[in-house]
Amino acid sequence: MTNVFDAFSGTANSLYGELPDPAADAGFDPSHPKRVGFFTDTSVCIGCKACEVACKEWNLVPDDGTDASDLYRLTGMSYDNTGDLGASTWRHVAFIEDVRPHGSATTEHGGGTPPAEPTTGHIPSGLPALGGGALPKAPRDAATPPPGGGTVDLLTLLPDAGAHGQQTPDDERDVRWLMASDVCKHCTHAGCLDNCPTGALFRTEFGTVVVQDDICNGCGYCVPSCPYGVIDVRGSDGGAHKCTLCYDRLGSGLEPACAKACPTKSIQFGDLDELQAAADARLAELHDRGVNEARLYGRDENDGVGGDGAFFLLLDEPEVYGLPPDPIVTTRDLPEMWRNAALTAVGLGVAAVAAFWKGGRR
């Protein structure tokens, strides 16, 4: 298993950068199963929340009220009454309602560029500051004109082709309603795991990241370690909890409960390399149909977490969905920090010796 000292000793780039096989890196035999994950295609999500319910049913996750004082109250954030991923919410469907200038919508949830005045969209708290740093330049180009021909051939016959989206009677504005099921990203470089002092968090043979309830002592170090704000400590039992990618089901050859329940195949489970290929194909298909705002999120193996085991197809900037634009594993700078600390220690030691030496000479 990776630990900071291995990293410090310079054995591998285990804390940052490309890492083709995290399970092997964690010490599993080369014959371990292939890395698995989720590809969540939000362009076909219908917001039914079956994933949320199936997840809780299978994993015996308590209802949100267990930790909340205001049980069973509307949040006021569109149809999202879950709010956020957390210790008792391992799948969360975000609903983003907004209105945009007429004609800017295309046909996948009306997604388009750029986001304008989100009204009831949900931005989880506790995430890295938005807007700072470079936004991921996904395969899109804001300068590209909207698709002239529309995405459906027949509508090109029509007079206002290209303007079909969710048109509203006041012709200046279109309504857009994005839905997306969020989940633990099962990062290639998982800050939660690397910062867990008890070994409760571990890398499985499938390359996923799982908490062992009976080992976790609830220290909470993992909570700020997650660049996505996913893992949290549950008040009722004091332990840290998050998506296990249904580790128990994987062991029995079953797909995770959320993917099984998803009616539109928005949540796809499988070997990560196959999912990545499917996602690339889907992205190309959408771009061909003129949905230029479509982009993949968490797909890039050179991003700040080494790519995600659970990645997404989004129809707008990640911030619109409450996702950090440029997540970086919190352990990225650890080697350097240790190195600096060591150098400082060495430097101090040298200084001290020098001081004594000088003193001795006197």
Partner 1 sequence: MAEAHPVGFQWVMEAKRRGATIIHVDPRFTRTSAVADLHVPFRAGADIAFLGGLISYVLENELDFREYVQAYTNAADLVGEEFTDTEDAAGIFSGYNPETGRYDPVSWSLEGEGYSAPAAGQRDHWESQLREHHAAMSSDTAGGAGDAAHATGAPERDESLRHPRCVYQVLRRHYARYTPEAVSQVCGMSVDQFLTVARSITANSGRERTTAWVYSVGWTHHSVGAQYIRGAAILQTLLGNMGRPGGGILALRGHASIQGSTDIPTLYDLLPGYIPMPNAHLHEDLQSFLDADAAKTGFWGNMDTYLVSLLKAWWGDAATAENDYAFHYLPKLTGDHGTYGIVRDQIDRKTYGYFVVGENPAIGHANGKMQRLGLANLEWLVVRDMQMIETATFWKDGPEIETGELRTEDIGTEVFFLPCANHTEKAGTFTNTQRLLQWRREAVHPPGDARSELHFYFHLGKRIREKLAASTDERDRPLLDLTWDYPTFGMHSEPDPESVLAEINGYDADGKPLSSYTQLKADGSTTAGCWIYTGVYADGVNQADRRRPGSEQDWVAADWGWAWPANRRTLYNRASADPEGRPWSERKAYVWWDEENERWTGHDVPDFEATKPPSFKPEEGATRQDALAGTDAFIMQADGKAWLYAPAGLADGPMPTHYEPVESPVANLLHEQQDNPALERIDRAWNRINPSQSEVFPYVFLTYRLTEHHTAGGMSRTLPYLSELQPEFFCEISPALAAERGLEHMGWATLVSARTAIEARVMVTERMKPLRIGDREVHQIGLPYHWGSNGISTGDPANDLLGVVMDPNVHIQESKVATCDIQPGRRPRGPELLEYVADYRRRAGVEPGGIE
Residues forming contacts to partner 1 in the complex (CB under 8 A) are 44, 46-50, 52-53, 56-57, 63-65, 71-74, 76, 78-79, 81-82, 97-99, 107-110, 119-120, 151-155, 157-160, 164-171, 173, 175-179, 263-265
Nearer to partner 1, 23 or 51 (CB): 51
Min dist. Cβ of residue 57 to partner 1 (A): 7
Smallest gap from Cβ 178 to partner 1, in A, equals 8
Least distance from C-beta 133 to partner 1, angstroms? 31
Cβ burial 169-199 (10 Å sphere, 16+ → b, else e): eeeebbebbbbbbbbbbbbbbbbbbbbbeee
Measured from the CB atom, the residue of 168 and 340 that comes closer to partner 1 is 168
8 Å CB contact between 259 and 267: yes
Which residue matches tokens 């997650």? 226
Q: How far is CA 108 from the centre of its chain?
A: 21
Q: Which is nearer to partner 1, 108 or 317 (CB)?
A: 108
Write out the two tokens for 69. 């004082």
- Whole-angstrom Cα Rg for the chain: 23
- Whether residue 106 contacts residue 146, with contact meaning beta carbons closer than 8 Å, is answered with yes
- What is the smallest separation between the CB atom of 111 and partner 1, expressed in angstroms? 10
Which of residues 164 and 249 has its CB atom nearest to partner 1 in the complex?
164
CB of 119 to partner 1, least distance (A): 6
Sequence-distant contacts of 281-289: CB under 8 A, at least 24 apart: 282/41, 282/43, 282/313, 283/139, 283/313, 286/43, 286/108, 286/313, 287/139, 289/107, 289/147, 289/151, 289/152
| Closer by beta carbon to partner 1, 92 or else 249 | 92
